[in-house]
Structure 1
Amino acid sequence: MAQVSGQRTGAAGNVTLAMVARRAGVSPQTVSNAINAPDLLRPDTLARVQQAIDALGYRPHRAAQTLRTRSSKLIGYGIQPVQPGTSTPVMDGFLHALSQTADESGHRILLFAAPSGQKLLESYQELLDTCSVDGFVLSGTTHGDPRQDWLAQRSIPFVAFGRIWSGRQIGDWVDVDGAAGTDTAVEHLVGQGHKKIVFLGWPRGSGVGDDRAAGWKRAMQRHGLPVRGRRAESIDDVEQARAAVGSLLDAGATAVVTASDTLAVGCYRALADRGLAPGEDVAVTGFDDTPAAHLLTPPLTSVAQPLEAAGRECVRLLLARIRTPSREPERPLLTPELIVRPSTARRATGTEN
């Protein structure tokens, strides 16, 4: 079997696979196995080789490794367009976690532009034609998303960060249980003495938004609290959210569960318009625990997504699919965490109607 050469530039000169083998007291083939098929080695042998690799600063030569294994160690990730000036802290956080996890497994994330509409699949085809990627990580899955079917028909490995919201389930995906997040928010508010808990969400038809709305409704019904007339909708825009939540506040809501931190900021502004204070007069919860949640006054209680776990799971599932194309699909649903801050202070006894 051809060996994979590597080098480290510095005072010690080039470091080769043979040098690592001599230091570890093993054969060059054992070093190659440690890099490319570690499961073949005993734990003590693998540890000894890894110590030698670390001590010498050895790095496999990627081009030679690609020729030998027919693996580029590249994972494609399409960046979808956003409106100018729009912040995407959640997906930025996920991409950071994904990149770090891929790096730890010896892979790199290859970013490419994935425009919406008819040109979406063309961007994937172009990348396949020009780069030897091992597979794809998808995000921003929506109703009628064509990518999973397209990739599956071509036997191209992929994993999605986000469920397939319509049609038949295809392939592996990792998602966050949004319903569990808003359910937990309602539980917290009920524990704080609230009963008039309303929901400010996105327009119906969004898979993620509908999921978060379902968790609010489920928890409300479990506590025997009414949901009719206690829901408002807005696109993910501060000023539109500010207008949308107004009628619920005027009707006497004491707590607002929102589908995003952006909507929660709109709720803060609507409260200010009425001379009310978040956390004192009306409790507010957000979702995604973006940097804005820490900066608001008062700081916002928000549902944090486990982005690092999502990145790890995406890489794990994609590599498993590459190794064993016929394996049964896995679709883990990760549980988010409610980060409690002063925007949901306890309701004063006797003030709930």
Structure 2
Amino acid sequence: MAENAAKRLKTSDGGVTIGTHNGHFHADEALAVHMLRQLPTYASASLVRTRDPALLATCHTVVDVGGEYDAAQNRYDHHQRTFTTTFPGRPTKLSSAGLVFLHFGKALVAQRLNQGEDSEDVGVVWRKLYESFIEALDAHDNGISAYDPDSLAAAGVEKRFSDGGFNLGAVVGRLNANWNEPSPSDPVEAQAAEDARFEKASKRMGEEFDLDLTYYTSAWLPARAVVQAAYAKRHEYDPQGRVMVLEGQSVPWKDHLYTLEEEQKTEDQDKVLYVLYAEKPTPDAKWRIQAVPVTKDSFQSRKALPEPWRGARDEALDGITGVPGGVFVHASGFIGGNKTFEGAKAMADKACSF
């Protein structure tokens, strides 16, 4: 288990140096270096990129090189044959990004939330950030596919088009020099040019990580309490709890809903089918009714709005549903709207029993 970062970090009079390997760089060590630099101890740390063991031995902290994982000595390599460490509760073997986040991630979150590392909120965001951001980098660096290749082949699933390398690993890969780009003949100048590219990659990875850290601490986490309250009241709107109402302002609800249902072991027949929320936090706001997806990123709904309603608008929609104030229902049936809460609630009631 990760230690409290603040207790372990010590600096020498000569300052702090982070070491990583030179040559072709990857997303994991680029992010690992960025994350360390966000902590006070490493804020002005110098960076050494080398594979020379003697130079690495002089570094305060070493990531992604050196053949050693020893948190007590601030050594975070994952390339050893015997390395099998994973994040708590997750199956993916860690890369240097995952190792640094395992040991320093709580400090990063705590710093942003201005809470102690042992607080519940810090733990919740720490786990969420790993699952939503870091784990994909760990898998990419360790050559782990998101889907089992054999299962895909057995099912006859083939890609319909190239995804163009739209992932952070590919973005960082493109920041390396091309094979035929000219390089300074002087080794010192050549290394400096390569290091400059790495710094650009680390900054790029850091921008994405910081955006996620900001989102999960300032938007996603506050939404958790709102969804918890709405989930607790859902039986007031439907005897089976199939309709959840976000009172006041709409918030990101999907992650929290699935987590609550899992934690409370909700039976399939009692799971939320529709979520109602106002378009904006004003008394005259129109209301939306959204069908809950089968999974967070799925285009398939647990129970889409009735087929006869789909694609209809305004008075035509009123005539089909028998509910006044209709605004629209999307052609796929995943979302609709009404001018009032009462209208949206009536639509939900009818959709549940359709």
Compute the TM-score of the two structures, normalised by the length of structure 1: 0.26
More strand by share: 1
| Structure with larger RCO (C-alpha < 8 A, sep 6+) | 1
